[in-house]
Structure 1
Amino acid sequence: MADNLKIVVHVKPGSRKGPLVETDEQGQLTIFVQGKAIDGKANEGVILALADHFGVAKSHITITRGHTSRIKQVIIDR
């Protein structure tokens, strides 16, 4: 059985810092992406940044909640 990781991330679209994944003291992930929240560009950036951060294929990352929000729930199949 695959090991699934369910996380909540905070997204900062249109950032010049991105793509970047930062973890704060409480373990909350903040993802900075260059794509703006237009036509799903920010969501694509989130998937690419998380795939790189966790070392998995982008097909293993699914946004399950928050497609139009800055706070998203994501499942990562590892």
Structure 2
Amino acid sequence: MEPWRAATGGLTVALRVTPRGGRDAIDGIETLSDGRSVLKVRVRAIADGGEANRAVTELLAKAIGVTKKAVRITSGTTSRLKQVAIDGDALALDLALRDLIAVHKPTRT
């Protein structure tokens, strides 16, 4: 099960973010203990003053080929679990995310 769903004007994606993760990367899909799926994201930035949130939105935008303005955090700004909205064609975004995670195996925590 993918951690994203179609929304008005694009997609909504559930994330689990690791700030100070040593590198900026998208590490695939993870299934949480409650059964929810999230996209695992790590960034080098620290979780202070919104730096990690900025790094997350920039990383996602670059990885799926949209502008930085097209990606925004809609909930969880101070949490590791976040929801982001990505503006654009839902089908094209879905395909971009599927291609991005194709090489990663889902994990369970």
Gaps of 5+ in 1: none
Whole-angstrom CA distance in 2 between matches of 1:25 and 1:74: 16
Q: CA deviation at 1:3?
A: 4.0
Q: SS state of the match for residue 59, structure 2? A: helix
Name the counterpart of 1:71. 81
Q: What TM-score, normalized by structure 2, do the two folds share?
A: 0.64
Q: State how 1:1-78 maps to structure 2 within 5 Å.
A: 3-16=9-22, 18-24=23-29, 28-78=38-88
Alignment size in residue pairs: 76
Q: Percent of pairs identical after alignment?
A: 36
Q: What TM-score, normalized by structure 1, do the two folds share?
A: 0.88
Q: Which has the higher helix share?
A: 2
Aligned residues: CA RMSD: 1.6
Whole-angstrom CA distance in 1 between matches of 2:28 and 2:9: 21
Bigger Rg over Cα: 2
Q: CA deviation at 1:9?
A: 0.4
Cα shift readout 1:8-63 (whole Å, capped 9, x = no counterpart): 000000111x2101213666311110001001110011001100111100000010
Whole-angstrom CA distance in 2 between matches of 1:36 and 1:54: 23
Change over 3 Å in CA distance of 1:39–1:55 after alignment to 2: same
Gaps of 5+ in 2: 1-7, 32-36, 89-109
